[in-house]
Homo-oligomer: A and B are copies of this chain.
């Protein structure tokens, strides 16, 4: 994880509760592709299952010193809004971005937050 830009972990196996034809591409993978195609000041990592399948597509956003957020109900067409959100996230002190500061499509996406990656972890791991 870069310390300078937010990291999105996007679940690339998520079917968002929809049936998947044999050989079909999961919607999570399409979301990941859409974000990668747009690019931006983020680190993008695919991950297999965030264990919140019934509320997918799902992703997390994290950056040292800020709350990590779990995002759900995502769709590939939200990729641009998500990258805008990442810019706000990066510029914020704690990672908290109120719904009024997010695109309309992202108003209900927050499923949970996790405590920040912090110095005490780093110290303990050394």
Interface size bracket, A side: 20 to 34
| A121 close to B64 (CB less than 8 A) | yes
Q: How far is the CA of A115 from the CA of B61 in the complex (A)?
A: 11
Q: How many copies does the complex hold?
A: 2
CB <8 Å contact, B124 and A3: yes
Residue among A60, A64, A111, A121 with max Cβ neighbours from chain B (10 Å): A121
- With contact pairs A64-B121, A64-B124, A64-B125 given, residues A70 and B1 touching in the complex (Cβ less than 8 Å): no
**Interface: A25 (CB within 8 A):** no
Given that A115-B9, A115-B47, A115-B60 are known contacts, is A120 also in contact with B1, CB under 8 Å in the complex?
yes
A38 to chain B, nearest CB (A): 22
Chain A to chain B: the 9 pairs with minimum beta-carbon distance, closest first: A52-B112, A3-B124, A51-B113, A1-B121, A9-B115, A64-B125, A3-B125, A51-B112, A2-B124
Q: Could you tell me which A residues sit within 8 Å of B by CB distance? A: 1-3, 9, 45, 47, 49-52, 58, 60, 62, 64, 68-70, 110-115, 117-122, 124-126
